[in-house]
Each structure stands twice: as structure tokens, then as C-alpha cells.
A and B are shown apart, each in its own frame.
Chain A
Amino acid sequence: AQSVTQLDSQVPVFEEAPVELRCNYSSSVSVYLFWYVQYPNQGLQLLLKYLSGSTLVKGINGFEAEFNKSQTSFHLRKPSVHISDTAEYFCAVIYTGGFKTIFGAGTRLFVKA
């Protein structure tokens, strides 16, 4: 079955430290990959997406992600986090030719002062 695994349910980190949120998906067939962010009491918002081309994708708020086809991963990174980055982050995949978005269970990023 198609699935997305976010390896960490919670990631606490100090302000200005780097962070990596991990994401793996279940199949190596052609995919579109997404990261969404959900700030407290707000709706889901697209952070970045990989459709094709360069495997390093840059998004909003200084985040980037790297698509690794051989490892079926799409890890999210930020070199220096801020308190305002505290939120829930969801990795998602759409298998090309389909419409169904499959989400991971989410990673709660908690940035401490």
C-alpha cells in the first residue's frame, strides 16, 4: 500500500539551530512530493513541492527539501530556525497520474528560546 512515513513525531530544537524533518514514501515510482505546514489554529499551507527537475527544492520561510529517489526520501531542512517556526509539518505524496494526496502523520517542531 502507498504510504508516507515521517520518522519523528516531535522534534524539539533551540532557536537558531539547524533542523531536519525526515520523510520517506513507500514506492519508487514517479511521484510529486510536498511539505505542508500547519501553524497553531491555522489551516494547512504549502511550504514547498517537488514536481520534476532539480532535486533540491526551496520553499517559503527559508526551508528547503531534497528529493532522493533511490532512498525514496524527501527530507525537509532549515539551517537556522526561529520561534515562529513552531508548527506541525506534514509530508505528502501524489503518485503521478493520480489525484489522491497521501499525507504522513506529521512532525511537531517545537523551537525553544
Chain B
Amino acid sequence: GAGVSQTPSNKVTEKGKYVELRCDPISGHTALYWYRQSLGQGPEFLIYFQGTGAADDSGLPNDRFFAVRPEGSVSTLKIQRTERGDSAVYLCASSLIGTSGRDEQFFGPGTRLTVL
């Protein structure tokens, strides 16, 4: 079956612009996670969805970052007024249930965001 997919695979934008990054989780997975991975670092947690609601958004760095999952499937990470420091690979993962943290997370290939 299909894994987690993310679009676009690469995004180049200019400082100050708005970007949207899309994640399609594995069908039937109720939990969805966003991470940011900077060069030479491990993934950094941003936000976790259980169904349509954000159960934990404590990792979002500031109010320029926002994520939605309106129908409990596809999620969009939105970044306003992009800054050069936002350049990173943005990873999405999904898991079947996710209510306990025990479930395996399946990762997508990531979107590489470059802010010029």
C-alpha cells in the first residue's frame, strides 16, 4: 500500500513569502505528526494531530507556523512571512492510533524548504 506522501518535495521561496506544505498520511491512520529537520540535526517535533484536532502543538516555534487537518486525513503546514532560518526539511509521519505514543510512526520523504 501507499506510504506517507509529501508535496512538494522541494520548495524554494523568498524571505517574507507564505508557503504551504502538504502531507498525505497512510489511509486509516488517525495520528499525524510534523517535524522539522535542520542540517546535521535530528527531527524536531512541531505538532501532533489526533484526528482533526491538534493534541499537542507545543513544538511550533512561533505564531508564523500553523497546521490544519480539517477532515482528519490530509494535513497542511502553513508558514507565514518566511525567514531564512525556516530553511529545513519538513517531515510528516502518521501512525495507526497514536494515543499512547507506543505506535510506530511511518515517515514521509520530507519537503525541503529553502528560503532565499
Listed in ascending order, the chain A residues whose CB lies under 8 Å from chain B are: 4, 6, 32, 36, 42-46, 49, 51, 90, 92, 94, 96-106
Which residues 89-116 of B sit at the A interface, judged by CB distance below 8 A? 91, 93, 98, 100-102, 104-105, 107-110
* Segment at the interface with A among B12-20, B38-46, B68-76: B38-46
- Determine the distance from Cα of A4 to Cα of B41 in the docked complex, in whole angstroms: 12
**Which residue of the partner chain, among B42, B98, B101, contacts A32 with CB atoms under 8 Å?**
B101
Q: Are A99 and B108 in contact (CB under 8 A)?
A: no
**Which residue of the partner chain, among B41, B48, B101, contacts A105 with CB atoms under 8 Å?**
B41
Residues of B near A103 (CB, < 8 A) are 35, 42-44
Residue of A nearest to B48 (CB): A99
- From DSSP, what is the main secondary structure of chain B's interface residues? loop
Question: Size of chain B's interface in residues, with CB distance under 8 A?
Answer: 28
- Determine the distance from Cα of A97 to Cα of B101 in the docked complex, in whole angstroms: 7
A43-B110, A44-B91 are known contacts. Are A101 and B105 too (CB-CB below 8 A)?
A: yes
Q: Are B108 and A43 in contact (CB under 8 A)?
A: yes
Listed in ascending order, the chain B residues whose CB lies under 8 Å from chain A are: 3-4, 31, 33, 35, 40-45, 48, 55-56, 58-59, 91, 93, 98, 100-102, 104-105, 107-110
Pair count A-B, CB < 8 A: 61
- Determine the distance from Cα of A101 to Cα of B31 in the docked complex, in whole angstroms: 13
- Determine the distance from Cα of A44 to Cα of B107 in the docked complex, in whole angstroms: 6
- Determine the distance from Cα of A36 to Cα of B91 in the docked complex, in whole angstroms: 14
Q: Are B105 and A46 in contact (CB under 8 A)?
A: yes
Q: Are B33 and A101 in contact (CB under 8 A)?
A: yes
Q: Are A43 and B102 in contact (CB under 8 A)?
A: no
**Which residue of the partner chain, among A42, A46, A106, contacts B41 with CB atoms under 8 Å?**
A106
Residues of A near B105 (CB, < 8 A) are 46, 101
Residue of A nearest to B104 (CB): A46
Residue of B nearest to A93 (CB): B101
Residue of B nearest to A49 (CB): B104
Given contacts A90-B43, A103-B43, A103-B44, 17 further A-B contacts (CB under 8 A): A43-B4, A43-B91, A43-B107, A44-B93, A45-B107, A51-B102, A90-B42, A92-B42, A99-B31, A99-B33, A99-B55, A99-B56, A99-B98, A100-B45, A101-B45, A104-B42, A106-B42
